[in-house]
Structure 1
Amino acid sequence: MLLPLYVHPLTDPEAWDNLPRGAACWTIVNVHNGPGAARDEAYTAATARLHASGVRMLGYVDLGYGSRPNGEVWCDIVGWSQYPVGGIFFDQVPSDAASLAYVTQVVRAVRGSVVLNPGTRCASGYAALADVVCTFEGPWESYVALYGDKSVQERDWANAAHLVYGVPTARLGEATALLLKRAGHGLVTDLTAPLPYEGLPTSLRTRAAAR
């Protein structure tokens, strides 16, 4: 599971307290469109507590679809060293072959795991640059429509992930089954745009309440 959690620990402490533990999930943390200009003590405490309890985390870095200078991106990568993350989640990644050199340089600066999120199918060279590449990000309606198209291959890359939001609660099981059929990693959530990652999906909150 890839689980973006873009809500502040003080805003929704319950979400932070009920994150999945272990190797089956990466939680993506985002202080302020990245690590922020200065250390956030609430994030310092929350991430330290989660790291100690076995939650695996990635730090969020925005590539602006290739528009951000390497120096700015490098500063964000270094900024995450003040938190116990195990790698970087690059968002708004370009998807064209011409941008492969730029993304390759950025990825080389990371010590740890790398996830790329172009949010769409991209040039084949991207698959080799990261542990996971998000080749779909969008609402449930678009996901169903995309994979109803017979021109789209049955199974995505071996290291592909899909992020599907706005799934009706009653169809979360169906959505999860479809994702697992199409990709090896990802997330389905009933939270909706424009802020589909500000909290936990209902399925995870329900599981936490049952413990």
Structure 2
Amino acid sequence: MDIDISFAEAVLRRGAALLEAEAEAAGTDPFAVLARLMAAAAATDAPLVVLSEGGSHPALFDEANRRAAEPLTARIASLAATRQGERAAMYEFDGSGPLTGNRIVAALLRPEERSDLLHVYIAVGRLRGGEAQITVPPALLRFDAAALGQTLGLLGDAVSRSANAATAALAHAAAILPMEGHEEGGMPAALLDLYWHALTLASVRAAGGLATMMPEGSA
């Protein structure tokens, strides 16, 4: 029977255990590397903000879901406005479509002092006996919102009229990198969508005063 903790908390607990162990303990297992990264961010760059679907801020997830249903041409400007004040944030929500039955953790880390440059990690899995089990190996998306904004400025109205132009602008500002030990290959469409959803959550939170909301938890 599962212990009453969140998937995000289970990820952080595993990471904390790895931090206490030898540096090599994470090995090249992508999930272990991710868990250790998040625990390290919580320990050294606190606070690590955690927001969960079903928590005290349903408007954040409802609005992100609404925007995710819009065509890219309609939401790309808000992606360019994505900002994150904290060094790290985690968003936890339920999987849908082919990922139904899974719990998703979208971890966003600022690798530098810039609030518009983010590294996005996605962990897809379930809780079993209080332990996080990963069902889809994670990878890293590097996203530069400022670069996207510059590209949109150059392209002008073409982005709002052409899905191809919007996709090209987004591709210029983002790069998916396999994590250490993760074989490079085709990225499943469902996983790719999660990266954009994570950035949509961040952009929604940065707008309308939501950036000042109290999180459900922090580490």
TM over 0.5: no
- Give the structure with the larger helix fraction: 2
TM-score of Structure 1 vs Structure 2, range by shorter chain: under 0.3
| TM-score, with length taken from structure 2 | 0.27
Q: Which has the higher contact order (CA 8 A, sep 6+)?
A: 2
